Structure 1
Amino acid sequence: MKKHRFSSIDNTAFKQQHLPAFWIYYSAKRILCYFFAIGIFCITMGIILLSASNSITEIEINYTKNCANCATFRENANNFKDECSCSIPFYLPQAIQGKVYMYYKLYGFYQNLYQYVKSRSNNQLLGMDIKNVDGCTPFTYSNDGLPYAPCGAIANSMFNDTIILSYNLNSSTHVQVPMLRSGIAWWTDKYVMFQNPPLSNLTAAFNGTAKPPSWHRPIYQMDEEMPENNGFLNEDFIVWMRIAAFPTFKKLYRLLNRTGYFSEGLPPGNYNFIINYNFPVTMFDGEKSVILTNLTWSGGKSTFLGIAYMVTGAITWLVTFCIIGIHLRNRRKKPLLSDQ
């Protein structure tokens, strides 16, 4: 008689899958404790996040309508050298303590369109080949045949309003609030994703290129006061090139230089925004705002995350009570015993 081909397998616990195993038994009591603890954690985190958000002092000034005359002028202007500025006074009812951040906010500007996002040259932005405009359609070459630097739709549409904040000490004395233009970009962006050409003379390095058609000045003259803040390392430019996911977004514009009257932050009182209006928004029915705020450990002023935690905790507790009800109902049901 022929021997079975599997008869040679050792009759061991391992090969016969008879090893001891641990079976996790989730009792109703244990599950209810888990759900109840998760609910407590979520609601507690929600309360903490909402408290942190409410402790932030923030003021937003929408200057689209306040600068309506400048908006009309900018839409009809043919020469970018023509400038229009407007002044917006406002009152700060309470001090903004600590580090103060100035943001600009755009409404209705879609940066997440596929063709818009792809319209850039990373090789050019790394300073490897500033005349490389591959992928920058439709902003690749000027009418003179010179490559744009920087090229692409993102760079061409860069936000270029100039915002100056002044503080009114009294009716006749106005002090310009000192603001920092450096330190607003991500470290990885400035030192990894963007680099200037190797030449120390940026004017010579960008020779043979043209500025984007919507720009007022070339990339190597973006900041006349800080030479190191020119070229592709200009932090306003770097901040703009980080794409926003939603049509309404804000981006960091300036940081408060905490010196003199402003060593503790922005004191309460009368202020004034002086805005050089350059960035057009009426063509796409958009709006512009400027925001002054401070931050906490949880970030900026936002109630979304706190409310999300609160809702999650409430739903978890609701499920917990439903499980308790089902468990108690099933415990009351006893099996029928036949008479013996």
Structure 2
Amino acid sequence: MNKQKPKVKKIKFIDQIKQQQLTDWKPILRPRIVIPILFVTSILFVIIGMVLLLQMRPLLNSSIRYDDQCKGLKNCEITLEITKTMKKPVYFYYELTNFHQNHRRFLKSRCDSQLRGEETNFHNIADCQPLKSKNNKKDKKYIYKPCGLIAWNTFDDTYLLMNMDRNNLSFTSKGISWDSDIGKKFNNPKEPLDPSDETVIQSNYTDEHFIVWMRVESLPKFRKLYGIMQEKDLEKGKYIAKIENNYNSTSFQGKKSLVFLTTAWTGSKNYFICWTYISTGIFLFGVGIAFLIKHLVSPRFLGDLKLINWYND
């Protein structure tokens, strides 16, 4: 009498995960597979690096430091020179050095719900320490709007750019912040804020200059977008920058500069990423050659029992 084999119950996929019984695949990395992969990857990296390099070479970048020229002055004018015509759109940045926005105490000192325009009280703005309210009072009317170190230290220098005939250049601040920030992370409170109130640091939470400042940077030297020249090219020549010098950079021994630049689909001029791709490609190519020489001179055969110590014993 033939015995029927017991049916093996198929284990569900979720049960395989729970019981750690998933089928696996362990590829054997043979030299004939690894060496071509290294060569192909190295060529791709070099090509990407060269493409980025060619895209960034035509981009223009012009900067001028002004804190030393405006030292001790509330209002000042500086002359800057554009050596080559910049094609529109031209991006206008301010640059700060030696300012550590990424310090944990600084970047944590904010209340996102308050910045979204939601009603807050003294207890749910704990992260804003040490600048929560005037004289640390718990009444709602004494809460800083917005609270926290980042908002308190908002960059407030202003700029007016003119040609040598003192005609203003048209720069717009519309579109300098991220779309994901406007209307989602930053909204004005329901009740309008009075700018003359001592507790009001920023009366308009949707101001794009303010939104750009609130997006903290990772390095002590950084640039933040201030305006975009969209209508005309920035022609070669000299220009005047009329500056309202409000922000104190001497307290942290920093420098302030104006920066004008053009961009491509790869972003602004940044040779670091270009040479990173190229150098990585060259390194992988060298590793591939080393592996190839090793494989040709003294190849290791797959499944060679002579390489097993206990087998030889």
Instruction: Check whether TM > 0.5.
Output: yes
Contact 1:147 1:209 in 2 (8 A): no
- 1:266-324 CA distances to partner (integer Å, 9 max, x unpaired)? 11111111111011111111111111111111111111111110111011011011011
**Do residues 164 (structure 1) and 155 (structure 2) align?**
no
One of 221, 228, 233 as aligned partner of 1:248: 221
Measure, in 2, the Cα distance between the counterparts of 1:331 and 1:195: 67
Measure, in 2, the Cα distance between the counterparts of 1:299 and 1:281: 28
Count of paired positions: 281
Measure, in 2, the Cα distance between the counterparts of 1:165 and 1:99: 16
**Do residues 267 (structure 1) and 235 (structure 2) align?**
yes
Q: State TM-score, norm by structure 2.
A: 0.81
Query: Given residue 245 of structure 2, which amino acid in structure 1 is its aligned partner?
Result: Y
Measure, in 1, the Cα distance between the counterparts of 2:148 and 2:26: 60
1:39 is matched with which residue?
Answer: 42
Query: Given residue 143 of structure 2, which amino acid in structure 1 is its aligned partner?
Result: P
1:215 is matched with which residue?
Answer: none
Measure, in 2, the Cα distance between the counterparts of 1:23 and 1:332: 19
CA 1:257–1:46 in 2, change beyond 3 Å: closer, same or farther? closer
Determine what percentage of the aligned residue pairs are the same residue.
28
Measure, in 2, the Cα distance between the counterparts of 1:143 and 1:25: 68
CA 1:68–1:319 in 2, change beyond 3 Å: closer, same or farther? same
Contact 2:88 2:229 in 1 (8 A): no
Query: Given residue 170 of structure 2, which amino acid in structure 1 is its aligned partner?
Result: P
Within 5 Å, which residues of 2 pair with 1:275-286?
A: 275-286=243-254
Measure, in 2, the Cα distance between the counterparts of 1:320 and 1:298: 29
Contact 1:149 1:209 in 2 (8 A): no
Measure, in 2, the Cα distance between the counterparts of 1:150 and 1:28: 61
SS in 1 for 2:264: coil
Q: State TM-score, norm by structure 1.
A: 0.75
Measure, in 1, the Cα distance between the counterparts of 2:172 and 2:300: 70
Instruction: Quote the RMSD (CA, aligned, Å).
Output: 2.9
CA 1:256–1:26 in 2, change beyond 3 Å: closer, same or farther? same
**Do residues 314 (structure 1) and 282 (structure 2) align?**
yes
One of 104, 107, 119 as aligned partner of 1:114: 104
1:290 is matched with which residue?
Answer: 258
Unaligned runs of 5+ in 1: 1-7, 16-20, 71-83, 213-218, 221-230, 334-340
Offset of residue 9 of structure 1: 7.9
Contact 1:196 1:233 in 2 (8 A): yes
One of 195, 200, 204 as aligned partner of 2:187: 195
**Do residues 89 (structure 1) and 79 (structure 2) align?**
yes
Query: Given residue 93 of structure 1, which amino acid in structure 2 is its aligned partner?
Result: T
Measure, in 1, the Cα distance between the counterparts of 2:27 and 2:109: 55
